Structure 1
Amino acid sequence: MPFRAPTARLALKPVSPSRIPGELDGAWWPRTRDLTSELSALADVLDPLWGRITRIAVDRRGWPVIPRRLFVNGHVVKVGWFDSERDPHRVLLLSYTAGRWDLLVIPPETAVPSATRLLAAASVRAGSPMTATALMAAEQARHDGVSEPPVRPPHGAARAARRLR
């Protein structure tokens, strides 16, 4: 079988026995907001690394359509969502064999330099773990007064923020 390059843009922390559940395990930078194809590519890469992915949860404000299930590597992956009380820049993946994994979600429209910095920052084991939202906020603050396009909030986040005011 010929080599097939992974389609998911992904950076992962090294697996560690001292892993803290809920801490970021890396970052994912989808190419589009087509969650069906993007999650299929992500699970396709992670299944061999982390064991069979069985469930995925995303923040629903970031995706126009959320499928209820995906067919990946010969099995069904259930897809769910959470609301803003959780970290909106995070995707949660569950595996029966390896447990829970959390990834920073970098919006697809993020400029390459910003996405590169975020991928690197989320995939380093640090003494004080940052949340996905804290990493995104730090990257956004870096752009204040800089000509590089800023990191954009998830689709629909501005509308949701206006409703809260």
Structure 2
Amino acid sequence: MTTTLDRTAPRDLAAEFPARLSLTPKTTLAGQLDGAWWPRSRDLAAELPPLAAALAEPWGRITRVTVSPTRWPVVPHTVAVDGRVLHVGWFTEQDPDKLILLSYSVGRWDLLVIPPETAPAAAARLMAAAAIPGSVLTAGVLMADEAGIVRGIRDAVRREATWESEGGACMSPFGTPMGRRAVPVHGSTWR
């Protein structure tokens, strides 16, 4: 079996840039997610070190990560992070849009994983939604909602283009449709 990595950024660039994160503020409200992560590629070995480094201060040392293999073409067993080993596991039962992070000293965190190919506007909406304290929305629900929003935007743009290509409608300055009779045409017998 041959595996092809779908990389949207070279491995060197993934390590060069900080992780794109949105974390839930510290509060007593427990929600389904603790924030969102928007990796630059689907290469876990390249993406996990910047993520672990970004979370070292607020959450402590991350020791284990679990993912669903559905979204990651290769799931390594371990990843080197700052001279230590980060253990990576996978579970087919785990939500494919979620990453679970574990630390011996601090606990567990669940992050929404935004696909690397996601448009910046959609990623911003997802990152904001995943960081709402006390939210009961799961990773799968957030991704399905975003897919509906994107579909709705595409449909609206397509309807507008169709409307315009068919001639549109005469509109009054107040935004109400006007019949053809209402349009004054000087020197014409059109009524």
Deviation string, structure 1 residues 111-150 (Cα, Å, up to 9, x no partner): 1110010001101114x410000000011111224239xx
Higher strand share: 1
Name structure 2 gaps, 5 residues minimum: 1-15, 156-191
Q: Does 1:131 align with 2:138?
A: yes
For 1:17 and 1:74, how far apart are their aligned partners in 2? 34
Conserved 8 A contact 1:40-1:70: yes
Task: Return the offset for 1:17.
Answer: 4.0
SS of the aligned residue for 1:47 comes to helix
* Residue of 39, 52, 56 corresponding to 2:61: 52
- What is the letter of the counterpart of residue 97 of structure 1? S
For 2:122 and 2:105, how far apart are their aligned partners in 1? 33
Q: Does 1:87 align with 2:95?
A: yes
SS of the aligned residue for 1:61 comes to coil
Q: Does 1:78 align with 2:87?
A: yes
The equivalent of 1:13 in structure 2 is: 24
For 1:14 and 1:86, how far apart are their aligned partners in 2? 24
Q: Does 1:118 align with 2:126?
A: yes
For 1:44 and 1:73, how far apart are their aligned partners in 2? 8
C-alpha distance 74-18 of structure 1, shift in aligned 2 (>3 A):
farther
Return the index of the structure with the highest Cα Rg.
2
For 2:152 and 2:18, how far apart are their aligned partners in 1? 34
Q: CA RMSD in A?
A: 1.8
Q: TM-score, normalised by structure 2?
A: 0.68
SS of the aligned residue for 2:115 comes to coil
The sequence identity of aligned pairs, in percent, is 52
